[in-house]
């Protein structure tokens, strides 16, 4: 049987400061992460952006990393997808997939390749 993997790695900008909720032994931080994808077709470049809602849990003594979850921070987030089901107040069954971060760190911006730098410098002339 093939092994199924449930994981993701994505980089993006924190959309707003994380909301942090503390419980008796652990805390959760929830924040939107702006992600985008650039596609090129001939000379036309299209950028598609979206926000994903991320949550991350830590034991209460290890929440200092939450200080990085501020609006505008460029982060790389690693984690897994968690399916959730519930019933709303009207009795309707709802579901969603949560993005649960197991690790996040400052993202390193990609440097342009020499060919891309040369192409961009020619456009500026």
The whole-number pLDDT of residue 16 equals 97
Which residues does the chain have with pLDDT short of 50?
A: 122-125
Which of 23, 77, 37 shows the shortest CA–CA distance to 53?
77
Residue-wise pLDDT tens digits, 72-82: 999 999 999 99
Domain ranges of the chain: 8-123
The whole-number pLDDT of residue 117 equals 54
Q: Which two tokens mark 29?
A: 């931080």
The whole-number pLDDT of residue 30 equals 97
Distances (CA, A) of 112 to 25, 65, 71, 92, 117: 44, 30, 25, 49, 6
Residue-wise pLDDT tens digits, 59-70: 998 899 999 999
Q: Class for domain 8-123, per CATH?
A: mainly beta
How many Å apart are CA 49 and CA 34, to the nearest integer? 7
The whole-number pLDDT of residue 111 equals 64
The whole-number pLDDT of residue 5 equals 87
Question: 67 near 75, Cβ under 8 Å?
Answer: no
């Amino acid at each position: 049987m093939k092994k199924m993997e449930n994981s993701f790695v994505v980089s993006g900008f924190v959309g707003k400061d994380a909301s942090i909720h503390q419980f008796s032994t652990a805390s959760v931080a929830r924040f939107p992460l702006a992600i985008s994808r650039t596609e090129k077709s001939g000379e036309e470049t299209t950028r598609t952006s979206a926000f994903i809602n991320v949550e991350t849990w830590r034991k209460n003594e290890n929440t200092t990393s939450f200080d990085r979850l501020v609006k505008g921070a460029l982060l790389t987030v690693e984690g897994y997808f968690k399916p959730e089901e519930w019933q709303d107040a009207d009795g309707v069954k709802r579901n969603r997939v949560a993005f649960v971060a197991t690790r996040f760190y400052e993202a390193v911006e990609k440097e342009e390749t020499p060919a891309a730098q040369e192409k961009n410098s020619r456009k500026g002339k």
